[in-house]
């Protein structure tokens, strides 16, 4: 029921760089272990947990991921993720929290990692989540992501009213974010829900979008 995600704007939308489908980061345990080893992570004491010397102290590779209690899908995915990480010598604890408490921690930037579910927008504005102005406490750039080129493109996109030109700017933002991996995009629905009431009769789609009908917006 899911596809591998690669964009914060909806991987099949007109605002996402479709060419990234050919460059997706694959699951490769051996390559992951080799990369960790090249960066100093190894099991020096035989306890099956990777460790490294950080600030002069041997530190095990352990962290906690926060998950919203309202997201059953995220909870299930994190259990699978935990098992895969353990194969590489990494210990991940899962902490399930009510959303209000989780949001408070996010805004305080007081976490190791977090699993989040995002909904899309027909006219996305990446400023609130991805611009470095929103790194400050209270902003929605929870992971303190900063890329000067992304910041510049976000401001350009906010000023661009030609939807096709704006889409090209957002595609560049998509590519840069995917390269930097401040978020690891996991999956998104492989379908869309459209609801109709049997009492409503209409010969056409009743909601007129500003720039594109529904099917052109989301499907190739």
Contact status, residue 91 vs residue 62, Cβ threshold 8 Å: yes
Q: What integer pLDDT is reported at residue 188 of this predicted model?
A: 86
For residues 117 and 145, the model is more confident at 145
Lowest-pLDDT range, 22-31, 49-58, 98-107, 188-197? 188-197
The residue behind tokens 């004491």 is: 45
Q: What integer pLDDT is reported at residue 23 of this predicted model?
A: 92
Residue 85 neighbours by CB distance under 10 Å: 19
How far out from the chain centre does Cα 62 lie?
21
Q: What integer pLDDT is reported at residue 212 of this predicted model?
A: 42
Mean pLDDT on 69-85:
92
Alpha helices, DSSP H only, in the chain?
29-38, 72-87, 99-108, 127-130, 148-159, 163-180, 214-218
The rounded distance, in Å, linking the Cα atoms of 170 and 28 is: 29
Mean pLDDT on 136-157:
94
pLDDT band at 208 (very low <50, low <70, confident <90, very high): very low
Cut 0.75: pTM above it: yes
The rounded distance, in Å, linking the Cα atoms of 10 and 72 is: 21
Q: What integer pLDDT is reported at residue 82 of this predicted model?
A: 97
Mean pLDDT on 129-135:
95
pLDDT band at 161 (very low <50, low <70, confident <90, very high): very high
For residues 168 and 188, the model is more confident at 168
Pairing of the two strands 51-54 and 57-60: antiparallel
Mean pLDDT on 48-67:
96
- Percent pLDDT > 90 in the chain is 70
State the average pLDDT for the chain. 87
Q: What integer pLDDT is reported at residue 142 of this predicted model?
A: 93
């Amino acid at each position: 029921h899911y596809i591998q995600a690669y964009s914060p704007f909806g991987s099949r939308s007109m605002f996402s760089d479709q060419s990234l489908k050919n460059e997706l980061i694959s699951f490769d345990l051996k390559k992951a272990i080799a990369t960790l080893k090249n960066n100093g992570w190894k099991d020096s004491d035989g306890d099956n947990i990777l460790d490294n010397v950080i600030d002069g102290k041997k530190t095990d590779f352990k962290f906690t991921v926060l998950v919203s209690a309202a997201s059953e899908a995220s909870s299930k995915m994190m259990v699978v993720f935990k098992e895969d990480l353990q194969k590489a010598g990494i210990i991940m604890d899962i902490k399930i929290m009510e959303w209000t408490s989780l949001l408070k921690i996010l805004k305080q930037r007081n976490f190791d990692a977090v699993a989040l579910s995002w909904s899309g927008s027909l006219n996305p504005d990446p400023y609130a989540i991805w611009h470095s102005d929103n790194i400050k406490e209270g902003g929605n750039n929870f992971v303190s992501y900063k890329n000067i080129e992304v910041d510049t493109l976000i401001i350009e996109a906010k000023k661009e009213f030609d939807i096709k030109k704006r889409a090209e700017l957002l595609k560049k933002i998509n590519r840069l974010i995917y390269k930097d991996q401040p978020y690891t995009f996991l999956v998104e629905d492989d379908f869309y829900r459209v609801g109709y009431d049997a009492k409503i009769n209409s010969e056409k789609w009743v909601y007129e979008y500003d720039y594109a009908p529904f099917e052109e917006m989301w499907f190739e």
